[in-house]
Amino acid sequence: MLGVRKAVFPVAGIDTNFLPATKASPKEMLPVIDKPLIQYAVEEAIAAGITELIFVTGRGKRVIEDHFDKSYEVEHVLKARGKQSLVELVQGIKPPEVECVYVRQAEPLGLGHAVLCAEKLIGDEPFAVVLADDLLDGQPPVLAQMVHIFSHYDSSVLAVEEFESYDALSHGVIDGRRWDERVISVSRIIEKPSPELAPSSFGVAGRYVLMPSIFHYLRELKPDANGEIQLTPAIHCMRKEEQVLAYEFVGKRYDCGTKLGYVQATVDFALRHAELRDTFDAWLRERVAGAQLGIWACGALLDQPEQATRGLAH
Ligand code: G1P
């Protein structure tokens, strides 16, 4: 059995949630503290043993290529200023044994279409799909956990997590039978059902390890009502012929495609960032204490306005 050596990063999509920030810059380059989302995704893939990174890119996304390319100018300036550790930091963004390949998706025709654009580059071997706006924080990294499950069962694997019922609308949702402690054998998968039609509360997070047979199902698919080819219905057709597993990953998902998820990731990552954690932690505690005092004062004012104002005056 071939191992998983290649990963597809669909990055051609146009973002509307972060406008105006993403008018001219790719959403995948939004930083969480000091690292762009796409770099977190790439680091996760490399930690899972991936050596070929296939970016399905589009117009306005050239800066992603530049990010993983050598920058003579930046390195020159840093060397001239004696900042050797920063030289190593920028040189280490793409390790030498890892190769980056770029293919264009001319029109935003859906996630399934993006994956199809990589078909020739993948060939006949299993591969990963990594959606950079899902920032997954796990130890071991989530894709490494999935590659382990893939090798064990020799089946396609989808990362899933339990969600709140109203979240069905933003996920592929699975149905299936428990197979192992964190593994579910998928019987059905539906793309973004309305909450009352969701077959379970397990939604797909943006990580997939897929058998190359998925290309056959993607090619057969008719575009949906929006004219797009989605990955979820192709996986649904695939599982009729072969086993597909859902894996409840160990870790936390930040949906950095939304403002709330992005801010949550920023706060959590700041709280353990070597340079920031102490000062940020102190600031955050002060802020929370201030907010609690405010809440207490408001409550007291409503209950006993006179005493509360006297108390606050001291
Ligand atoms: C895509 C998939 C969806 C999956 C989600 C995870 O949707 O189509 O099935 O649950 O990623 O983030 P998107 O977020 O691109 O709309």
Nearest atom in ligand 1 to 232's CA: 9
Element holding 221 (H helix, E strand): none
The predicted model gives 158-169 an average pLDDT of 83
Q: Closest residue (by CA) to atom 10 of ligand 1?
A: 171
List the structure tokens of 276. Answer: 């920031």
pLDDT at 212: 97
Nearest to 208 by CA among 1, 46, 45: 45
Q: Which of 27, 113, 115, 131 to mutate for ligand 1's pocket (most ligand atoms within 8 Å of CB)? A: 131
Instruction: Find how far residue 308's CA is from the centre of its chain.
Output: 47
The continuous run of DSSP H or E covering 226 comes out as none
- Centre of ligand 1 to C-alpha 15, Å, is 13
What separation in Å is there between the alpha carbon of 138 and the centre of ligand 1? 19
pLDDT tens digits, one per residue of 57-108: 998 899 999 999 999 999 999 999 999 999 999 999 999 999 999 999 998 8
- pLDDT for the residue numbered 261: 95
Per-residue pLDDT band at 299 (split at 50, 70, 90)? low
The angle that helices 37-47 and 142-153 make with each other, rounded to 10 degrees, is: 40
- Lookup: tokens for 266: 């920023």
pLDDT band at 29 (very low <50, low <70, confident <90, very high): very high
Average pLDDT over all residues of the chain: 92
Query: What confidence score (pLDDT) does residue 223 get?
Result: 93
Is 90 exceeded by the pLDDT of residue 155? yes
pLDDT reported for residue 234: 98
Q: Where are the domains of the chain?
A: 6-258, 271-314
* Helix-, strand-, coil-residue percentages of the chain, each rounded to 5: 45, 25, 35
Least confident of 115-119, 142-146, 194-198: 194-198
- The predicted structure's pLDDT at residue 222: 93
Instruction: Tell which atom from ligand 1 comes closest to the C-alpha of 205.
Output: 6
Burial of 237-250, coded b for 16+ CB within 10 Å and e otherwise, reads ebbeeeebbbbbbe
User: Which residue from 170, 188, 189, 229 has its CB within 8 A of the most atoms of ligand 1, so it is best to mutate?
Assistant: 170
Residues with CB under 6 A from ligand 1: 111, 131, 134, 171-172, 191, 203-206, 230-232, 257
Instruction: Say whether 255 sits in a helix, a strand or coil.
Output: strand
Q: Whose CA is nearest to atom 16 of ligand 1?
A: 170
Beta strands in 66-164 (DSSP E): 99-104, 127-130, 134-137, 156-162
pTM for this predicted structure: 0.91
Q: Is the pLDDT of residue 2 over 80?
A: no
Atom of ligand 1 nearest to the CA of 171: 10
Question: Ligand 1 centroid vs 286 CA: distance in angstroms?
Answer: 37
Rounded average pLDDT over 165-170: 73
May I ask the CATH class of domain 6-258? alpha beta
Ligand 1 atom closest to the Cα of residue 203 is: 10
Tokens matching residue 151: 């090798």
- At residue 308, the pLDDT reads 47
Write out the two tokens for 289. Answer: 């204490």
219-253 residue pLDDT tens: 999 999 999 999 999 999 999 999 999 999 999 99
CA of 191 to the centre of ligand 1 (A): 8
